[in-house]
Amino acid sequence: RWRRRAMTAATAMSSAIATGAARGTPRKMDKRTTRSATVRRHRSAVRLEATSEAATAETYAPAAAAGESFDWFSAWYPLRPVSFLDANEPNELRVLGKKLVAYLDPTCKEWRVLEDSCPHRRAPLSLGYVQKDGTLACRYHGWAFDGEDGSCVSIPMSVDEAAEKTACASPRSCATSYPSRVEDGILWVWPTAGADGLLASAGAPCATSLAREGTLPGEWGMVELPVGYAPALENQFDPSHAEWLHARYDAEGQLDERANAGFVAMTEFSVREGTMQKDGFVVEHGGYNKSNVGVSASRVFTAPCSSRSEYLDAKGKKYLSAAILYAPTEPGRTLMFTKFQAHQASAVQGAGARKVSPADRINSLVTAPATSLFDFYVDNFTSDPKLVRVGLSHGTPPGSSAYNLGDQDILAMHGVEVEMELQNKPWKQSYYLPTPADAGVSAFRNWMDKHAGGKVAWAPGVVDDASKVKSEAEQLDRYHRHTKHCVACKTALSELGVLEERCVAASKYLLAGGLFLAVTGAAFDQEAPAIIATCLAGASLVGAEKVRDMQHEFLSSVPRRGVP
């Protein structure tokens, strides 16, 4: 079974939105809170009683008033957490279908973002290298560019200095540069180049700086979902899905309703009055299971990329804060950034926990020496032990358990996206949204229709006409979802490959030595050295196989052995 890892409290944090984000027991309400809750329930009952089959979710998320249109190319988009970027090499990136390259200028320690295309022969600049003077050199013919404005500063094959100067002065020799900045630990880009982009971006804030409650502590997580922008955002505005997609299943993906808190029908879910604008909207909702029935939440959508959620308990105290960012990279793929802060212990609980069995305890005793040996190897024989440990915390258990909930979301979102493509109908005809719990999805779709043209505006030349159908292996792929985007995970995966080679080589030498000792030892009645060498050879082979399992954790959720 491919969902075989434990879901711990720490990894539940990285999937808190997917799991409902609030599964603790509500605190006892005081009299004032009780009266307020009674009034809210009365108002909700009136609204529900007045709801007919024709009203559906539109009662709670009415269509947005026609107004200004959102400009997809006049906004800051998150590209990567800075900690994910390689500071020594060009980083290949995408947003709105634009191919970009980002690199750290060593002369000023600032990140530069250019179009990933050399004006000479259109080779990817991401294949190039960063020079000591802060320029980015194309690997194809050595042209070099200033990352700040994209100007060409060197054309090695010029016949003389005068010819090079003339060619570099031509606007046609320039690479396209984009405004960029680092804020809240993330590299952001403004996808409009030139003077217009510089002028418009100068006074525009990044979405995270607009949060009234301020930025959240801790590191950002990031994955690239193999689904489009619309289904990804819909999933975020549909909190009640957690009770059905996640909470009823254990860590191995098996139905286990004993772990489920029991759903509660959502009666409070609506768009805050007056907030539906071209720049976003705010939705407010209550709880959706017996453990969080007293929780109230607000989700602030700052177009096009940010959803900031604040959960309060029944006494109005902070329960959980969540910051989630999205960036459409290309048709059918979307970046998702996550950061959470639990204000109460119960907020970190999540679905998918796996009980520790006696066999697990015995196994841990057997593997403890091997684990200690592996830790010693990482600390003393890898290129960057600190970076490798960060990568291992992302890609191997218990950290990799967060992939399990993501897999569940992706399988569902992919199914929605494919079916919508096959039906080829407006969402109001394809979806039937009869309950208040659907108000968030309706609100997002209404915003898309009224202010954003109903779909993502891709860069010129990018056509959203490819089939949305992806194989199960593509949906459950981890390398393209996270590993290749994260310098720590790439480093850890590379070091695991080196360790595998060393284990295999050691087993060969030990086995050969064991055979030699067996032959020579027989003459002197000394069999122990041969036995020891052979056992060590076997241990090395077992170690190599274990390392292969660890590498696979970085690559896919599809099991390495057996049938899913």
Nearest CA to 240 out of 441, 445, 38, 13 is that of 441
* Measured distance CA(407)–CA(557) in Å, rounded: 8
pLDDT for 163 equals 97
In the block, residue with structure tokens 């060393």: 502
pLDDT for 26 equals 33
72 neighbors 86 (Cβ within 8 angstroms)? no
Most confident listed range (26-30, 31-35, 84-88)? 84-88
CATH tag, 77-201: 2.102.10.10
Q: Which residue stretches of 206-246 are H helix?
A: 229-236, 242-245
Terminal CA-CA length for the chain: 5
Kindly report which listed range (85-99, 333-347, 431-445) carries the lowest average pLDDT score.
333-347
The model's pLDDT over 512-552, given as tens digits with 9 standing for 90+, comes to 999 999 988 777 778 899 999 999 999 999 999 999 999 99
User: What Å distances lie between residue 500 and 14, 114, 378, CA to CA?
Assistant: 30, 37, 13
Length of the chain: 564
Provide long-range contacts, Cβ within 8 A and 24+ apart, for 202-208: 204/74, 204/75, 204/76, 205/76, 206/76, 206/78, 206/181, 207/76, 207/302, 207/305, 207/306, 207/325, 208/183, 208/184, 208/306, 208/323, 208/325
| Assigned fold of 9-56+215-356+399-470 | Naphthalene 1,2-dioxygenase Alpha Subunit; Chain A, domain 1 (3.90.380)
User: Stretch 156-185: mean pLDDT, rounded?
Assistant: 97
pLDDT for 59 equals 55
pLDDT for 495 equals 98
Kindly report which listed range (159-173, 194-208, 240-254, 496-510) carries the lowest average pLDDT score.
240-254
Q: What does the buried/exposed string (b/e) look like for 209-237 if buried means 16 or more CB atoms within 10 Å of the residue's CB?
A: eebeeeebeeebbbbbbbbbbbbbbbbbb
Amino acid identity, position 24: G
12: pLDDT confidence band, cut at 50, 70 and 90?
Answer: very low
Kindly report which listed range (276-290, 305-319, 358-372) carries the lowest average pLDDT score.
358-372
The model's pLDDT over 480-508, given as tens digits with 9 standing for 90+, comes to 999 999 999 999 999 999 999 999 999 99
Per-domain residue ranges of the chain: 9-56+215-356+399-470, 77-201, 358-386+480-553
pLDDT for 261 equals 61
Is the pLDDT at 29 greater than 90? The verdict is: no
* Measured distance CA(506)–CA(282) in Å, rounded: 60
Is the pLDDT at 346 greater than 80? The verdict is: no
User: Stretch 287-311: mean pLDDT, rounded?
Assistant: 90
Is the pLDDT at 17 greater than 90? The verdict is: no
pTM for this prediction: 0.85
* Measured distance CA(550)–CA(393) in Å, rounded: 12
pLDDT for 365 equals 78
pLDDT for 60 equals 57
User: Stretch 286-292: mean pLDDT, rounded?
Assistant: 82
User: If residue 446 lies in a helix (H) or strand (E), which one and from where to where?
Assistant: helix 439-451
How far does Cα 10 stand from its chain's mean position? Answer: 16
